[in-house]
Structures are given as C-alpha cells and as structure tokens.
Amino acid sequence: MPENQNDEQANTITLTSEPAKTRIRHWGTVTLLEEAERYRINRIEVKPGHHISTQMHYHRSEHWIVVSGTAKVICDGKETLLKQKESTYVPLSTPHRVENPGVIPLVMIEVQNGEYLGEDDIIRFSDNNET
C-alpha cells in the first residue's frame, strides 16, 4: 500500500447516525436531525393553512431557513413572508410563530442555539382560531 494511502485511511472517520426522530403534530411534523450540548437542528414541515403555536423561549434562539414553500413568520409582532432560500432569526425571549399560507407543504430547517434546549422552555401563548 502506498504511504500516502495509509495516511488517508488513518485520518478517515466513519460517522454512523441513528434514524431521525419524527414527532407528528396536528399542523405537521418535526424531525430531529442533529443534537449536541448547545444546539439542535430540526426539519419542520407545516401543512398548508396551518401554523405552530405562538411561543417563546427564555434559554434559546432559533434560526429558520425555508427549504420549500412559503413561511409567514410573526416575530415580536412583525410579519414577514419568506420564500425558498430565505431565512430569519428569532432571538430568545421573543414571541414568535410560523404559518404556511401556501398550497404546498412548508419545509424549514430550524437551528436552535442556547444554554438549555428542553421542551419545558417553550412558553405557549393562546392563539385565536387555533389550527
């Protein structure tokens, strides 16, 4: 075996991953893609005409990247429409929600960052016409 080929093999790391964990909600799905101590990456799919609850977090911020569809984002009372390849940042302690006003599923990648990522850090607000 040539010397440099042996060096390549010594530096090769094989990554194995568990199957993605998907949680089904009435508005769509959340699939955990990767998680570590201070971040979590999710794939979020929102059905047409649906939305997540208005919520906020004291210990984490979120970055949403639209993969397909249209996202109507309400962050701290300000509405923004995002299309494919566009993104937004949700600071911690900021009320936020995402809706799918379109006719195809909204698919987003969500990157959560913070000192604590537990589900009990979700503060939910009541929404009118909850779907």
Distance separating alpha carbons of residues 67 and 129, to the nearest angstrom: 27
Distance separating alpha carbons of residues 57 and 66, to the nearest angstrom: 21
User: How would residue 20 be classed by pLDDT, with cut points 50, 70 and 90?
Assistant: confident
Lowest mean pLDDT of 16-30, 50-64, 84-98, name the range: 16-30
pLDDT at 23: 95
**pTM (two decimals):** 0.81
For the chain, give the number of residues. 131
Is 37 exposed, middle or buried, given 0-12, 13-18 or 19+ CB atoms closer than 10 A?
Answer: exposed
User: How would residue 126 be classed by pLDDT, with cut points 50, 70 and 90?
Assistant: confident
